[in-house]
Amino acid sequence: MLRDEIVALLPQLRRFAYGLAGSVPDGDDLVQATCERAIANLEKWEKGTRLDSWMYRIAQNLHFNALRDGKTRARHLAVIGSESQWSLDGEKQQEDRFALTAVRRFIDRLPEEQRIVLLLICVEGRSYREVSQITGLPVGTVTSRLGRARSAMRGYLEEEGAEANTDGSPDGGIENGKMENGR
């Protein structure tokens, strides 16, 4: 029975995962994720091929994805942490709230199929392949829907920028970082 074969592979898989992850807790998480992925995709395993090789490949791919995601998050956190001092600047908070509200309005305007893809990839950090598996869409369809969502976002941001320029000047009354009234 396939279940028994998977259970029999756990000690080997754990050693492999510990080696990849570098720690027992991270290795255990990797083993669990590997088993979950394998069970969810059993129909993709070809009978007569090596189950251990297939599961090792799943573990390796998950590990590489986690490394890539970790590097991406570290870059984002470095940018966030690069501000020399966190402050309670009321004007900055208002600008941030305005930006968040604008992003929410934009996302709400997207067609459902584009919204799902955009949220899974850009907010949840899922890969195109994962989104393809989650939604049941081909990767090419995921890519095109994300492209259309990003294009719509550019158009929306340009539209919002045009509305912000109420005085008709290209910079909305801002020159050299100062408002026209000297602020």
The rounded mean pLDDT for the chain is 78
Q: What is the 3-state secondary structure (H, E, C) of the chain?
A: CHHHHHHHHHHHHHHHHHHHHCCHHHHHHHHHHHHHHHHHCHHHCCCCCCHHHHHHHHHHHHHHHHHHHHHHHHHHHHHHHCCCCCCCCHHHHHHHHHHHHHHHHHHHHCCHHHHHHHHHHHHCCCCHHHHHHHHCCCHHHHHHHHHHHHHHHHHHHHHHHHHHCCCCCCCCCEECCEECCCC
**Predicted local distance difference test score (pLDDT) of residue 78:** 60
Q: What pLDDT band is residue 171 in, cutting at 50, 70 and 90?
A: very low
Q: pTM of the prediction?
A: 0.42
Query: Alpha-carbon distance 109 to 115, whole Å?
Result: 9
pLDDT bucket at 72, cuts 50 / 70 / 90: low
Q: Which domains does the chain have, with CATH numbers?
A: 2-78 (1.10.1740.10), 92-170 (1.10.10.10)
- pLDDT mean over 112-126: 81
